[in-house]
Structures are given as C-alpha cells and as structure tokens.
Amino acid sequence: MAIHPIVTFGAPALKKVARRVERVTPELLRLTEDMFETMRQAKGVGLAANQIDIDLAVSVISFRETLLTMFNPRIIAGTGTQSNVEACLSVPGVEGEVKRAAEVTFTYLDERGELQERSVSGHLARIVQHELDHLNGVLIVNHLSIAARTLHKKTLERLKAENVQPRKQVHR
C-alpha cells in the first residue's frame, strides 16, 4: 500500500467532475486500499480520488463501524436538513458551518462491481455528501457563508498560491 499526497485548494483536480469508472478492476481495488491508508494517515473519515489527483469517481469512507468503498456514487434522494461545522483534508485550516440533507439515499458500485443502494442519516449522511461533492468538483468553500469565506481569505489565498505551477517557457 502507498500513501498519496493530498492535493489542496487551488489544485485543478478539485474543480473537475470525476470521470466515471467503467468497471471495477484489481488495480482500482488496490487504489482504494491506498486511499484508505492515505485517509487514515491524514486522520480523515473520507477521501475522494480527485483529492489525490486521480480523475476517477471513487470514494472511501471510514466512520465508526462503517467502511465504504464506492465507485460512481450518486445521491438519488435527500430529506431534512442538518447544519454542522465541517473541515476538509484538501482545505487545511478552513472550517465552517455547512447545511446538508439530514438523510440521503445513494447508489454506488461496490468492490465486486455490483450496484448497491443505501440510505444513511446523521453524520454519515454528511460525510457521504461531502465526498460526493468532491467528485462533482465542489469543495466546502462553496458552501461557506460570505462571512466564513472572508474569515478564511488569507488561508485560501495561501493555499491557492501554493498550487500555482509556473508555466513552461516556450522558446521560439
């Protein structure tokens, strides 16, 4: 297993909608093992593949007794609302109040490539929504109030500046 670097705010991978998985392969299963290891090392509860700069709709979650490996996850229903403080491994140093559905029903392919449908509530519903946001190019920053974004402006600017890659000079 390998631990991958987690990309941060400003990285292009975090703004893109992740590419769907055609089929679950042994290579993808090894990737999810790496993702679990990376997430545990970072002390997170969820990780999406684009957070490690891999353009695939893959996410893993480890929360209490729940371990979830999801390929092509999609929320099909949400009910109620809950509001709570969230943080993100890809936006270190930034946290804020995020409103989400209290219960969600979602579909995904499991490790065997079989379609599953599941309903979850509470904190696990929040984690599922957070990870699916990643796969759709959405970060917690997109959910924060203007006041919270203003509060974290310097941190966000620093993270974005760290992700600016110098352009290669073209010689003519």
Instruction: Write the DSSP assignment of 26-79 as a string of letters.
Output: HHHHHHHHHHHHHHHHTT-SEEEGGGGT--S-EEEEEETTEEEEEEEEEEEEEE
d(CA 59, CA 66): 13
Looking at the domain assignment, is residue 125 inside a domain?
yes
pTM: 0.90
Looking at the domain assignment, is residue 91 inside a domain?
yes
pLDDT at 162: 86
Sign of the torsion angle spanned by Cα atoms 125, 130, 134, 138: positive
pLDDT tens per residue across all 172 residues of the chain:
799 999 999 999 999 999 999 999 999 999 999 999 999 999 999 999 999 999 999 999 999 999 999 999 999 999 999 999 999 999 999 999 999 999 999 999 999 999 999 999 999 999 999 999 999 999 999 999 999 989 999 999 999 888 765 433 333 3
pLDDT at 63: 95
d(CA 29, CA 35): 10
Q: Supply the CATH number for residue 147's domain.
A: 3.90.45.10
Overall number of domains in the chain: 1
The residue segments making up the domain with residue 122 are 12-162
Looking at the domain assignment, is residue 46 inside a domain?
yes
131 flagged as catalytic = yes
Instruction: Let me know how many helices (H) and strands (E) the chain has, helices first.
Output: 4, 7
Q: How many other C-beta atoms lie within 10 A of the C-beta of residue 19? A: 15
Catalytic member of 65, 86, 95, 131: 131
Looking at the domain assignment, is residue 121 inside a domain?
yes
The three-class DSSP label of residue 83 is strand
Asked whether the beta carbons of 1 and 155 are under 8 A apart, the reply is no
d(CA 99, CA 82): 6
Indicate the helix (H) or strand (E) that contains 109: strand 103-109
Looking at the domain assignment, is residue 119 inside a domain?
yes
Helix, strand, coil shares, percent, the chain, to 5 = 35, 30, 40
